[in-house]
Structure 1
Amino acid sequence: MENNRQKITFKCLEVLQPIGVMYVGAMDCSDLETITYADVRRLEIGKDNREIEDYIGIQRHLDPRREKEIGKYVNLVDATFPNSIIISVSSEFVKYDKETSIMEIDFKDDIAKVLDGQHRIAGLRHYEKAASTFQLVVSIYLDMELEDQAIVFSTINKEQKSVSNSLVADLFAFAESRSPQKTGHNIARALSKKEGSPLYNKIKILGKAETLSQTITQDTFVKSLLVYITNDKQSDRDFYKRNKNDKKAKLPYVHEKELKRHFLRNLFIDDFDDIQIAQIIWNYFYAVQQKWPNAWNETKNDSILNKSTGFIALMKFFKDAYLSFDKIGKVITKDEFKTIFDNMELTEEDFNTTKYVPGGMGISNLYKDLKTQSGII
């Protein structure tokens, strides 16, 4: 690809589809940012200051949080955008040579409307490797009518289906380098598959239950665990991937205040994640199982202890329980955890959807009751 102040020049394929001609090429992210704009959907205000019902534009407003997430992602060692950015541009700014398959686009601000990909383009503003290239696959429509632009936009966003987060978590089994995500996957698998485990056959590994006893999704398990291991799982994964051939490469230990929040982190850094962290989780939920065996083991429609509401509340309380022993980095035994629950007055009949409504409120209320009755300050 060649770029100067007047033109952006690149190879481009001409693609024929029912909607018309489309051109597909590769463009540098900085060039794409310069020539594009997002036609954001907004309510038009009339001169008489009354809101009229017509809406202008087809794009949604840019989400700063999403831009920040992508801005962080693009600087990872394995960042990629395999799907194309889709733009519409007037032919007055474009010249295409069919014989050479070369397209030239005027290098001017805001001449191409983004139909899909505005957050990716915005995220790439944060790309830090100015000396290297980050190209994007671009699908280009010329002189596209507004109706067709809207159809393309709505079709893309209507047909997109999200991938199960539990499936994403499970795919880390194939990763060669370490990461918090892989650790979470390994522990979820181990505790769910090992007979005798208090979590035996309770985790939906791929997000779908194979038996009635599987009441906790792998995604819920992994997310609840990783908050005690890392505050930046992507950066940790990036570190291990960049240094996968350096056996001496090691993340720095955390101390004091941060270790209070991520009390399992140093165990993870020491590569004890599949053994000691799993054992700590096992011992904790063993104490839960011993205290409320029926509520934990049985599956009833109105029961919450072994479902997401109960599990998330228990994992929030896990931090208080573990830290109460002042033995960070050590394995707390079953008997030690058991002393935390022995004096609690909650009965098995208390863990119902009436007392603890499924969702955030129920989680919060159960967590407060667990902490209050434990006597942990």
Structure 2
Amino acid sequence: MAKKQARQSEKKSGGLEEALSIEALPITQGAHTFYVFVLDAKTLWSFVSISRRHDEKDEGYQRVLSNSRVDSAVKFIESGEPIPNSILLALEGATYNTETKKLVIPPGEDVGWVIDGQHRLAAAHMAAEQGKDIELCVVAFVDVDIQFQISQFITINREAKGVPTSLLYDLLKHLPGERKPAEIANERAAEIANVLRKRENSPFRDRIVVTSSPRRGSQLSITNFVRKLAPLVHPERGSLRVWTLQEQVGIIDNYYSGLKDAFPDQWALSENVFFQTIGFGAMMNIFEEVFASVFASKGRFRRSDVAEEFAKIASFDFKQWSSYGSGNKAEMEAAQDLRLDLSRAKAGDQSSPSIDLG
């Protein structure tokens, strides 16, 4: 078995030792001309470069390469399925000969930058290394600046109107052998994480990190977030599966906003337990019970409703969790602490006599 490709987080550099001549079709749209051609994955991968974005650096624009996404695409290619989507490039110093109808890419490093399609290209490259080199459709702009490249990247990945996720989920049942429910749950959980970490005024704003290690007590890794949220949005058995993406985002946002209001002293600490692995795990372990309780009594799940629920145990001692260690067992024990205190608080409310002083 071929060695698994390491996760790539830095810039990927490529180049040509000698000029590459390719038959291409020029297309003009508005003020821009681009070129369409076909090239095998092995050759394409060898000369392109990829500028990857960092959480802490104001440079690059591509996301970090996801091994799981690449591995999935490799299997897709090896099964004989087509990848008709094009790879979008920005070429440096290339020239087009109208007589020969060939695009000539000059020798050198960084002569071509990937604007869109890095995961497809990486998967095709890996498949080629394993003996299945496929041809890829390529669309290339020539001598465009970084602002233009970023503009194209944003347009493709954010502003272009996509198919509603709910429709994709509904259609997947007609494609036997496609993504498993667990994979769909992970994708939905990651989608929620990406919305929340960019959402203004969300307690998760800039607290879910994708490309770097989280700071203890102030950030969560997207892996940890997805680990705990995916079961809740599982398309077959998740308690939040009947809600839309927007509603799921709102529910989780309100849940943590309510915690912030109920436990302001804990939230103000530099090492906020709610953003430690044990704390986040515990809070998500009791989420379904809290959601059911609040929704049953209020018929809604607002931030204020969550705060009111947890205000019943406002004096809860979170320091005791520091001795629990880590792992699923510790998260379960911490959740049980919360569960017991909430149960006692509710029992106390129900047993307290009501006195009419009126």
- Shared topology, TM-score over 0.5? no
TM-score category (smaller protein):
0.3 to 0.5
Scaled by the length of structure 1, what TM-score is found? 0.42
Scaled by the length of structure 2, what TM-score is found? 0.44
Between Structure 1 and Structure 2, whose CA radius of gyration is higher? 1
